[in-house]
Structure 1
Amino acid sequence: MQKALILCNNKSDQGKMRSSVRVIVYVEDANDEAPVFTQQQYNRLGLRETAGIGTSVIVVRATDPDTGDGGAVAYALDSGSDRKFDVDVSTGLVTTVDYLDYETKTSYLMNVSATDQAPPFHRGFCMVYVTLLNELDEAVAFFSAGYEVSLLENIATGTEVVQVQAQSADNLNQLSYRFDPDTSPAALALFKIDSITGRITVTGLLDREKGDLYTLTVVADDGGPKKDSTVVWHSCFQFPVSITIQDENDNSPEFDITSDSLVEIPENTPIGKRVAVVLGRDKDAGKNGLVYFRLVAGNMQDVFEIRTVNHTYGEIYVNSPLDRESVDRYLLKVRHLGQIL
């Protein structure tokens, strides 16, 4: 911008004659002013950490009273952005250029400059302070990858099985626990979980003979939204608890219907000859399910003996000579027993 300075000069002789002249001087602008921001610090508080790339954050503005290129301003983000933000060189609009994460960094203090466009290129500076708003965007995680628990059958109801614990990096809401709906109805009838503490307890009668292994799928939920238009949020997590029911000796052996109940043998049957077989079963497992056989009545003079085979069969053998004219009928009473210590 040019400025005119008008000078007037009057000249006269000693007589009455005079003359005057007007001189116009134009003052050219020099780039001698630096850009000045309208604020020393601009604040954007509570920017959502899930804000997408390209989100507008704040507009900074600087002015320069010089004319031409000396008054034109270009903006630049000099430091503090961690490559998460940038500023438009012409408009001063600060936007996001990468995804934000409150759990990694909660705030940014950035230095923004404004430079005029003529030598000697004066610069002005301001600060931009941005804080992030914590949101439920982090996955819930259990302290352990899974639990394996063993319980004795017939354990009292109300007994605590295990306590599961999870955490969320967001740490905004109280976590709640529940069984996944796909957990088997049999398991749901026997166990329950406290929604606040994560303690799993027994609520039904455990019978190994009806079921010896249960898998409970526990869900921990922080109550956050499951998804939005751009980002899938993991607000809950599933966690397996395997419960093995250990056997107690709570079942009596039973005879199988295939056991011999009536046999006829010649009186000259040799000693050591097998003449009958009984079959016994015990629903218990391991040592508790082993079956032993004894002759407890009717075996006069020990004419017969019984041998236990594979803890399942009782084989009856002739133990001494038979004499039909002395005894023509034996009514043997066989008893099967569980584990013998």
Structure 2
Amino acid sequence: MGIQQQPFRKRLMCETTTWLLFIFVFMISTIRGQIRYSVPEEMKEGSLIGNVAQDLGLDLRRLRSGRARIVSGDTSQYTELKADKGILVVKERIDREELCGDVMPCSLSFEIILENPIELHRVTVEILDINDHAPTFKSKVIKLEISESATVGSHFDLESAYDPDSGIHSLQNYVLSPDNNFVLKQLSNADGVRFAVMILQKPLDRELNPHLSLKLIAVDGGTPRRSGTVNIDITVLDVNDNPPVFNQSLYKATVAENAPIGTYITTVNASDADSGSNGLVSYTFSNVKGKSAEKFEIDSSSGKITVVDNIDFEKDKKYEIRVIAKDQGGLSDATKVVVEVLDINDNAPLISIMSFSSIISEDVSPGTTIAVFNVKDADSERNGHITCSIDSNLPFKIQSSLTDYYNLLSDVAFDRETKPEYNITITATDSGSPPL
């Protein structure tokens, strides 16, 4: 027919992501299916995830002729489709904690596409947790200085252990080595993180025992159970009558995800009725969540909290920090600081062409699929809300299919003698301010 095929090319116009397509029309049919698998983390390379051909009702010859392949997704390196056998296998070791952190459930989502005709199938692989981590303490030794005048019932906040595993495999219990002077009380934050408080049940006598050595053991719920231990060294001091008291049990603050290092978050404050050295209060973070101490720091004297590392809303939307105020006599109080991360529109939409046919017959009916493309935006809410458009004068239209997927369809009958080719620009724009 004397028509030359031209390759599509990608171009960027202002802050808008675009794909430039040269289209010549051909008939495509789109079939959609979804399957879900569940596998434990740390499976060996080559381990079977599922029989894709069987679960989708596809013939192996169809997988080969359609050049079946995995498309899209930043996690596609973890799985491999063996089209000759119709199975999905583990391609690379999967660490649930590294992949998802505290997010539950943890899953990989991607698509399998076939051509001639086009079929698009979504696959979700849920990664199940195994008990591959033991609870750990940030410090090797917890040092406490406690006055012998401390009253029965006085409480002493202890450093929390951290276990990246989830569910029953995460931290479940604390055990204090037997001691006549103290008992252990266990509490949980609103987010389920457990921490321990040591309660004085028998007065101390510095003249009899100036030093005490205890062990705090953190235990998870796996089978077999894993545990971590920290030593508690107590120095008994004279006369400290009043513990510090925070003026708030909960502090709330917000921070933009692009906040520079040094940005002020909030200031916590605890007062101590004692005078002299026993009334001096110092502030420290308790290691409740692994990442919080990496992103923020607290001035031990003033209680001022500031940013010390880059913050990314797409990775962590909220931080919860437990702060301990301790006086020079070893008495303490604790409070919680919740820092909400504010999203900014710092990610432009990204268009990926999944399948595209540059030649079509002039007699195809309206509604024929010309191309399938994927648009993703790492931002959230309105900053990640995408609108796709093309020139309204063109005889094509865009139709949404699966989440983040769109079909480019013919909209009218074609006449090659009148118009032998079309140049189509697809524009994906988010709803941020300003839009990208």
Give the TM-score normalised by the residue count of structure 1. 0.51
**Residues 167-206 of structure 1: pairs in structure 2 closer than 5 A:** 167-171=271-275, 172-184=278-290, 186-206=291-311
Residue in 1 aligned with 2:182?
none
Residue in 2 aligned with 1:282?
377
Residue in 2 aligned with 1:42?
none
Residue in 2 aligned with 1:304?
396
Residue in 2 aligned with 1:238?
334
8 Å contact 2:273–2:279 — kept in the other structure? no
Q: Tell me the amino acid that sits aligned with residue 175 of structure 1.
A: V
The alpha carbon displacement at 1:327 in A equals: 4.5
Distance 1:320 1:137, change over 3 A: same
Larger radius of gyration: 1
CA separation in 2, counterparts of 1:309 and 1:275?
14
Residue in 2 aligned with 1:247?
343
Residue in 1 aligned with 2:326?
221
The alpha carbon displacement at 1:308 in A equals: 5.5
Higher relative contact order (CA 8 A, sep 6+): 2
Q: Tell me the amino acid that sits aligned with residue 238 of structure 1.
A: A
Residue identity (%): 26
CA separation in 1, counterparts of 2:320 and 2:268?
14
Residue in 1 aligned with 2:262?
158
Residue in 2 aligned with 1:210?
315
1:291 aligns with 2:386: yes
8 Å contact 1:290–1:312 — kept in the other structure? no
1:323 to 372, 391, 415: 415
Per-residue deviation, residues 257-316 of structure 1 (Å, max 9, x unmatched):
6x33336544222334444332201000110001111226xx9x5121224679834332
CA separation in 2, counterparts of 1:188 and 1:151?
15
The alpha carbon displacement at 1:162 in A equals: 0.8
The alpha carbon displacement at 1:170 in A equals: 3.1
Distance 1:333 1:260, change over 3 A: farther
Residue in 2 aligned with 1:269?
364
Q: Tell me the amino acid that sits aligned with residue 357 of structure 2.
A: L
The alpha carbon displacement at 1:220 in A equals: 0.7
Q: Tell me the amino acid that sits aligned with residue 279 of structure 2.
A: N
CA separation in 2, counterparts of 1:164 and 1:260?
55
Gaps of 5+ in 2: 1-147, 153-202, 204-237
Q: Tell me the amino acid that sits aligned with residue 285 of structure 1.
A: S
CA separation in 1, counterparts of 2:348 and 2:293?
29
CA separation in 1, counterparts of 2:403 and 2:427?
13
1:339 aligns with 2:434: no
8 Å contact 1:212–1:245 — kept in the other structure? yes
8 Å contact 1:294–1:336 — kept in the other structure? yes
Residue in 1 aligned with 2:62?
none
CA separation in 1, counterparts of 2:343 and 2:401?
23
8 Å contact 2:272–2:280 — kept in the other structure? no
CA separation in 2, counterparts of 1:150 and 1:160?
10
CA separation in 2, counterparts of 1:220 and 1:289?
41
SS in 1 for 2:390: strand
8 Å contact 1:292–1:311 — kept in the other structure? no
Q: Tell me the amino acid that sits aligned with residue 355 of structure 2.
A: D
CA separation in 1, counterparts of 2:413 and 2:387?
26
The alpha carbon displacement at 1:158 in A equals: 2.0
Q: Tell me the amino acid that sits aligned with residue 277 of structure 1.
A: V
Q: Tell me the amino acid that sits aligned with residue 173 of structure 1.
A: G
Q: Tell me the amino acid that sits aligned with residue 323 of structure 1.
A: D
Per-residue deviation, residues 53-76 of structure 1 (Å, max 9, x unmatched):
xxxxxxxxxxxxxxxxxxxxxxxx
Residue in 1 aligned with 2:130?
none
The alpha carbon displacement at 1:331 in A equals: 4.6
8 Å contact 1:293–1:308 — kept in the other structure? no
The alpha carbon displacement at 1:340 in A equals: 6.5
Give the TM-score normalised by the residue count of structure 2. 0.41
CA separation in 2, counterparts of 1:160 and 1:285?
24
8 Å contact 1:291–1:311 — kept in the other structure? no
Residue in 2 aligned with 1:141?
245
8 Å contact 2:150–2:240 — kept in the other structure? no
